[in-house]
Chain A
Amino acid sequence: MATVELEDVTKSFGDTVAVAGLSLRIEHGEFVALLGPSGCGKTTTLQVLAGFIEPTSGEIRVGTQLMRGIPPHKRNIGVVFQSYALFPHLSVFDNIAFGLRMRNVPASEIAGRVNRALDLVQLTSLDQRYPKALSGGQQQRVALARALVIEPSVLLLDEPLSNLDANLREQMRFEIREIQKRIGITTVFVTHDQSEAMAVADRLVVMSKGNIRQVGTAQQIYESPADVFVAEFIGQANLLKGRVAAVSEGEARLAIAIAQGGVVTAQHRGRVGSGQAAALALRPEDLRLAIDVQPGMNNLAGTVTRVNYLGSVINVGVRAGDLALTITAPRGERIPAEGENVVVCWPPSAGILLPEAP
């Protein structure tokens, strides 16, 4: 169990920079998710942490120990791969015992520890089976037990749930979190699925093109995304792009760039100034549908393009000029008809005003 620190870590493959000057500190016992689209550098970061590849520059510390030059077999790190990478020629028991045997743990102790690990992942009766006779979910649990039985200081998981079907994925993500909490091991979890990351991680690290865009709890990232990329990647976001016309007190007036023109009011929170290009990010649940213009609110007239009844919510698509907006209304509200003229409204306090990338 230890803290993990990445200091200005860079990894390039020839001309391609996979990870660019990444700095991050993970606390002891913390469950951190590295989240981002394909190619953002999250898997490369994990491989650097595991020692499978050496960084081009920068330092990695586990606890107080510098990891540079230390090969993977000396790092005391547990890894769970996306493909599970179980040893096909060994039984479940021998797969899990492998790490202990490499450490010359006496045979009497091995049996006890392997059985405890099997209990932890609830696979006690399957210890004599071979990997090819196991289901995806079972293989995943064996991979987890195998990584944990050696009592590593850090647990690394590389998209471990990607190969499972949706239901199993949801169940397994909570099981992994349970186990991690029980043992209290520092964990780094790589995923491209933002709802998965939000569900299990203590903190999320949103990455794009080798850089960290934002680090924070699920709430921090959802409520206050740092930039347009994060706003769009986490949850859904309606983006109203335009230029800041005026700023006063805590509020800014944004002239949005749509055909019929229009000005909306939002809180600037010190992030944008007058004349700047900016985007207002609004979550679908921030927006309301009304028949008429609502006083004291921002209003946009539009036409309903689609209505999806999803059970717990109603998802409505509205076209306002050349903007396509998505609104989520809670169950029980009046369901509008396709083609209806509506007014989309929201209070000035809703949404986040973000500076647009130049």
Chain B
Amino acid sequence: MIPPGPRRWLGAFVVLACLFSVAPVLVIVIESFTSSDYVVFPPPGLSFKWYGEFIKRPEFVDSALVSLVVALCASLVSTLLGAMTAVALERHAFFGRRLLQSLFLAPLSLPGIIFGLALLQFLARYGWPRNVVTMTLAHIIITLPFAIRFISVALLGIDRNVELAAHSLGANRLRAFWHVTFPLIRPGIAASLVFAFILSFDEVAASLFVASPSAMTLPVRIFVYIDQNYDPLVSAVSSLLVLAAVIALVIIEKTVGMGRLFGLR
């Protein structure tokens, strides 16, 4: 146990570290409520007008919708595939299992830009269009490792004998999964859905390459906009992204608990 003196210093250090990470985001959020026409901190007055401006711009609203659709589809498909993969990897020992596990986690080691570039070349080579579908595909690949991980962790928390007990009581594989395993990994599935959603919603690097006029996600739209303009509209849109992320994290904390997800509890 840490004695009280050093502990106070450690506490102070932790608070400072958190502030340091969160401060830039806080600044942007506060800026978004400015009444001025330019980006300034601290804002001279408070107003919702830049949020109103966001709604008036069709290209931004459009991108928000694209982001929403892509994120929803990607998180659903990712979680479904992830669940199937996790169950197969955890419950069956087969030759090459370790190799497959590493293979599934491989996309994590790839920088988003490299992946985006590779995907672009792939699409061009086979004549596939760049649209919402291919954007969703890219996001599925990026979020899948997380889905697999979250559900694997949930599965590890279940006593293996519970499923055997279900079998001995007359449940075949499918019914045992539905009545016993699934309810027990539900928190993991919820966490996977939410995390994949937010990952996809905020994704920039790979999306930059796969984006097209018809399929431009919100982060990409902001990126393009900043090139030409810099006004509080960007702050407002960014704040909306931050809000979405915060809601996602709260849901994860309430269902699974962030600590447990990363093996800290």
**Distance, CA A11 to CA B210, complexed state (A):** 55
Within A72-124, the residues touching B (CB, 8 Å) are: 72-75, 77-79, 81, 83, 85-89, 98-99, 102-103
**Distance, CA A52 to CA B165, complexed state (A):** 10
How many residues on the A side are at the interface (Cβ–Cβ under 8 A)?
25
B106 within 8 A of A: no
B159 and A83 form a contact (CB under 8 A): yes
Known: A89-B184, A99-B169. A79 touches B159 (CB 8 A): no
A200 within 8 A of B: no
Chain B residues, CB < 8 A from A52: 164, 167
Of all chain B residues, the one with the shortest Cβ separation from A149 is: B169
Of all chain A residues, the one with the shortest Cβ separation from B170 is: A102
A85 and B169 form a contact (CB under 8 A): no
A97 to B: closest C-beta gap in Å: 10
A71 and B172 form a contact (CB under 8 A): yes
A243 within 8 A of B: no
A50 and B180 form a contact (CB under 8 A): no
B39 within 8 A of A: no
Known: A87-B180, A89-B183, A89-B184. A102 touches B171 (CB 8 A): yes
A146 within 8 A of B: yes
Known: A83-B159, A87-B180. A98 touches B164 (CB 8 A): no
B162 and A72 form a contact (CB under 8 A): no
Within A296-334, the residues touching B (CB, 8 Å) are: none
Of all chain A residues, the one with the shortest Cβ separation from B161 is: A85
A102 and B175 form a contact (CB under 8 A): yes
Main secondary structure of the interface of B (DSSP, over half): helix
**Most A CB within 10 A of own CB, among B159, B165, B175:** B165
Within A125-184, the residues touching B (CB, 8 Å) are: 146-147, 150
Of all chain B residues, the one with the shortest Cβ separation from A98 is: B169
**Distance, CA A98 to CA B178, complexed state (A):** 13
**Distance, CA A150 to CA B169, complexed state (A):** 8
**Distance, CA A89 to CA B179, complexed state (A):** 10
B159 and A85 form a contact (CB under 8 A): yes
B166 within 8 A of A: yes
B167 and A73 form a contact (CB under 8 A): yes
B168 and A72 form a contact (CB under 8 A): yes
**Most A CB within 10 A of own CB, among B164, B167, B169, B176:** B169
Contact residue among B162, B179, B183, B184 (Cβ-Cβ distance under 8 Å from A85): B162
B170 and A87 form a contact (CB under 8 A): no
Chain A residues, CB < 8 A from B161: 81, 83, 85
Within B145-191, the residues touching A (CB, 8 Å) are: 159, 161-162, 164-172, 175-176, 179-180, 183-184
A81 and B170 form a contact (CB under 8 A): no
Chain A residues, CB < 8 A from B179: 98
A81 and B165 form a contact (CB under 8 A): yes
Of all chain B residues, the one with the shortest Cβ separation from A152 is: B168
Mask: chain A, 276-305; 1 = CB below 8 Å from B; 0 = not: 000000000000000000000000000000
Within A23-76, the residues touching B (CB, 8 Å) are: 50-52, 71-75
**Distance, CA A220 to CA B183, complexed state (A):** 50
**Distance, CA A50 to CA B167, complexed state (A):** 10
Of all chain B residues, the one with the shortest Cβ separation from A80 is: B165
B166 and A50 form a contact (CB under 8 A): no
Of all chain A residues, the one with the shortest Cβ separation from B183 is: A89
**Distance, CA A10 to CA B166, complexed state (A):** 26
Chain B residues, CB < 8 A from A71: 167, 172
Question: Which 10 pairs show the lowest CB-CB distances between chains A and B?
Answer: A102-B170, A99-B169, A85-B161, A85-B165, A79-B168, A72-B167, A81-B161, A89-B183, A85-B162, A73-B167
Query: Given A79-B168, A87-B162, A150-B169, 16 other A-B contacts at CB below 8 A?
Result: A50-B164, A52-B164, A73-B169, A73-B170, A73-B176, A79-B164, A83-B161, A85-B159, A87-B180, A98-B171, A98-B179, A99-B170, A102-B175, A103-B170, A147-B169, A150-B170
Question: 26 A-B pairs, CB-CB below 8 angstroms?
Answer: A50-B164, A71-B167, A72-B164, A73-B169, A73-B170, A73-B171, A73-B172, A74-B170, A75-B168, A77-B168, A79-B168, A81-B165, A83-B161, A85-B159, A85-B162, A85-B165, A87-B162, A87-B165, A89-B183, A98-B169, A99-B170, A102-B169, A102-B171, A103-B170, A147-B168, A147-B169
User: Which B positions have Cβ atoms within 8 angstroms of A?
Assistant: 159, 161-162, 164-172, 175-176, 179-180, 183-184
User: Which A positions have Cβ atoms within 8 angstroms of B?
Assistant: 50-52, 71-75, 77-79, 81, 83, 85-89, 98-99, 102-103, 146-147, 150
